[in-house]
Amino acid sequence: MPHHDLVIIGSGSGNSLLTPELAGLDVAIVEKGTFGGTCLNVGCIPTKMFVVPADRVVEAHDAHRLGVTFDRPRVDWPAIRDRIFGRIDPISRGGEDYRRGQEHVTLHRSRARFTGDRALVLDTGEEVTADRVVVAAGSRPNGLDLDGLRAADPATGVHTSDTVMRLDSLPPRMAVVGGGFVACELAHVFSALGVHVTQLQRSGHLLMHEEEEIGQRYTEIARHRYDVRLGTTVTAADHSLGVWRLETEGPGGPAHVEAEVVLLAVGRRPNTDLLDAQAGGLDVTEDGLLVVDDQLRTTAQGVWALGDVCSPHQLKHVANHEARVVAHNLAVDLGRLEGEPRRLDDRPIPHAVFGHPQVASFGPTCAELDAAGTPYVTKTQSYGDVAYGWALEDTTGILTVHADPSGRVLAAHVLGPHASTVIQPLVQAATFGQDALEVARGQYWIHPALAEVVENALLGLPLDT
């Protein structure tokens, strides 16, 4: 039975744990899927690489507002797909080859299940033990509890984000089930590239977790580009002659959608159910997340966790931060670093949706602030009221800032071009406790850059001064 100093389950952010402070440890990495994890292979990176050409198509379509027109774009799907995975796949292979070539690292291409305290069994039947274990096993897409739609089945045209980006060709029609960020980003991509998209959302608007006005605005913009059906639930599915027929129930009663491809984008589940976590002494929440403390220690001695398997955020930048915390704490635990373990903190966690237009956010919505009884002031600034917004002819972009009455930034919510970049000064202000007026007046803002929407929003806050 092989025994290691450290076993890491997962090769995404878990792969970055092996810092110089941990050099020389006898390490085993266990990975069943594609080496490098979700973000690199089927998540953030490829999706955003698909978003860029989709954005260009939409921008060309909208350019008539600027006095410029283009011929109908010609989309070369194989060229787009192969450019993206021609870059990503070698990175995955290279990372795997690098780890295989390291003297003190053993790579197991397998799943692992706990059988006891820091004891694991692999798919091969081989048993592995370790002094310390880090669980970074990630998450996977959900299916629908309906025959034919319980999981991805590319052979019949049922896909999740794990498979849909490698389609051999673009289908004439696609039904996108879901209204969150994965559904909205991929609906944007495929509709822009010429697929007739129908998006089915059971709630009253898309992006339900965003500030309500932003979710509502995004929904209206999407409805001008493709078929969005709100308040709609899929009740049955039938596949015949290469076409799916989805029976639905919505505000107008029973209806149906026909499509060659169905994309299931109805959330993700942590992979704890594949680990037999409780056999290893690891407690699990009702949502299936591993229970961890603020040092990312699980309830089992010598076992840490990070990423989607224990974090509700399901964000790569969160997993990377957690990997740095765990790496430090492992080094302290091993006596290779002096000092105290690092703890997670309450810094703002931003996220972005790379649909069209982009959405970015951090902190509570106004509804959440109201529910908590938190005093706050707010300002919503339109993109179209700053000079670069005029240049863009933007009529929908907004930035909303919430602050406490003294001027401390609590939250920001953005919809519009480059939202994921525009929000960053506000993330910094909230993280370091900077005063809103100090941020607005304590530096030069390039004129007429789009960042002036941030400056004007901060200046417009009705603060107690």
Ramachandran sector of residue 287 (left: φ over 0; alpha: ψ -120 to 50; beta: rest):
alpha
**Residue 196's Cα: distance from chain center in Å?**
25
- Select from 77, 443, 140 the least CA-distant residue to 268: 140
Question: Beta strand pairing status for 139-141 and 196-200?
Answer: unpaired
- Select from 442, 447, 439, 462 the least CA-distant residue to 380: 462
* DSSP conformation letters of 204-240: SSS-TTS-HHHHHHHHHHHHTTSEEE-S-EEEEEEEE
Q: Tell me, what amino acid is at 58?
A: V
- Select from 326, 291, 303 the least CA-distant residue to 118: 303
Rg of the Cα trace of the chain? 24
CA distance 258 to 187: 16
Torsion sign (Cα): 58, 63, 65, 71: negative
| SS3 category, 22 | helix
Torsion of CA 29, 33, 37, 38, to 10 degrees: -160
- Select from 300, 279, 342 the least CA-distant residue to 292: 300
The residues that are catalytic are 447
DSSP 167: -
Torsion of CA 34, 39, 42, 48, to 10 degrees: -150
How open is the CA angle 234-238-239, to the nearest 5 degrees? 130
Q: Tell me, what amino acid is at 352?
A: A
H/E stretch holding 176: strand 173-177
- Select from 340, 288, 347, 285 the least CA-distant residue to 318: 347
Percentages helix, strand, coil for the chain, rounded to the nearest 5? 35, 25, 40
Q: Do the beta carbons of residue 268 and residue 314 sit within 8 Å?
A: yes
| SS3 category, 285 | coil
Alpha carbon of 75 to those of 13, 57, 61, 283: distances in Å? 34, 9, 14, 49
